[in-house]
């Protein structure tokens, strides 16, 4: 059950045509069965050594062993492709439909579930990239290309075939392609990860709903702090207490403890009349 005062606080936060922004992290996709890849599922064995995601999901590793990095991401993409959007994703779509141009979605997730649920590309910022796209590893252009057709499912033991290797190239220059994802040893930028755009969205946000993220990366913290500094309110949805929830409540917002698939549909209903 939502707090009795939530609608009144949200209504005040959204006055003056301010925006509603949803910021999602791994928690919303975990409810669709996608592992966070920071646990046992994230480890990747090369020879006799196990690599953590923070080691294999890097530009340095890609430059050293691009085939193994691609194998890991093809396996990850297979897991994501098998997953289905849940009620939390669908509630985000409902909020977009209600608020229209006053709505934005900022997601750290690369799995594509928001779009498969119905979120529009025009109002969705993928600040960590997307496994549905590739780009040139030699940076011949800032253009992203759709993931090539013809590459099948990958398990943990699947070897990269010659046919798949031939598909994983830049369509523009023929150089090796890379996954369109933000690696651990890279920085946010505007061209690939919409950094400045996300901050501009935060500055005009009256109500921020954070879902399944605890602020372990830089940009979500910037977004949260910009919203609070501009007088906006935050509603945090998470299965555990976390920094975002504490900051929300200290600044007059709410920390809702529970599954996003349970809480977001009720939240979408409560906010619909404020659009």
Residues designated as active site: 128
Helices (H) and strands (E) in the chain, counts: 13, 11
Q: In what order do the strands lie in the sheet with 129-136?
A: 145-146, 129-136, 177-181
Q: Is residue 22 classed as helix, strand or coil in its secondary structure? A: strand
Query: How far is C-alpha 240 from the geometric centre of its chain's CA atoms?
Result: 19
**234 - beta bridge partners?**
208
Closest Cα to residue 212, out of 79, 106, 98?
106
Tally of CB atoms within 10 A around 146: 10
- Spatial contact of 62 and 137, defined as CB atoms under 8 Å apart: yes
Partners of 238 in the β-ladder? 257
Distance CA 53, CA 246 (A): 28
User: Under a CB-based contact definition with an 8 Å cutoff, are residues 19 and 96 in contact?
Assistant: no
Query: Which token pair is 39?
Result: 């646990």
Gap between the Cα atoms of 5 and 9, Å rounded? 6
Q: Which conformational region is residue 64 in: left (phi greater than 0), alpha (psi within -120 to 50 degrees), or beta?
A: alpha
The two beta strands, 19-24 and 103-107, are parallel
């Amino acid at each position: 059950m939502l707090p009795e005062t939530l609608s009144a606080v949200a209504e005040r936060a959204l006055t003056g045509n301010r925006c509603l922004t949803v910021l999602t992290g791994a928690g919303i996709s975990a409810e669709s069965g996608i592992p966070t890849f920071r646990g046992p599922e994230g480890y990747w064995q090369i020879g006799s050594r196990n690599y953590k995601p923070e080691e294999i999901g890097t530009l340095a590793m890609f430059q050293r062993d691009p085939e193994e990095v691609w194998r890991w991401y093809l396996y990850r993409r297979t897991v994501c492709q098998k997953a289905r959007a849940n009620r939390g994703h669908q509630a985000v779509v409902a909020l977009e439909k209600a608020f229209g141009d006053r709505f934005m979605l900022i997601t750290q997730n690369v799995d594509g579930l928001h779009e498969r649920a119905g979120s529009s590309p025009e109002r969705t910022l993928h600040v960590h990239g997307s496994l549905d796209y590739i780009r040139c590893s030699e940076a011949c252009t800032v253009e992203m290309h759709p993931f090539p057709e013809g590459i099948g499912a990958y398990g943990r033991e699947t070897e990269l075939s010659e046919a798949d290797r031939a598909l994983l190239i830049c369509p523009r220059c023929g150089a090796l392609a890379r996954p369109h994802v933000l690696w651990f040893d890279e920085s946010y930028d505007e061209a690939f990860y919409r950094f400045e755009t996300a901050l501009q969205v935060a500055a005009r946000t009256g109500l921020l709903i954070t879902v399944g993220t605890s602020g372990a990366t830089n940009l979500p913290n910037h977004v949260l702090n910009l919203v609070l500094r501009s007088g906006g309110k935050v509603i945090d949805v998470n299965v555990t207490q976390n920094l975002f929830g504490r900051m929300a409540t200290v600044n007059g917002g709410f920390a809702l403890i529970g599954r996003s698939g349970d809480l977001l549909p009720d939240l979408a209903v409560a906010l619909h009349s404020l659009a």
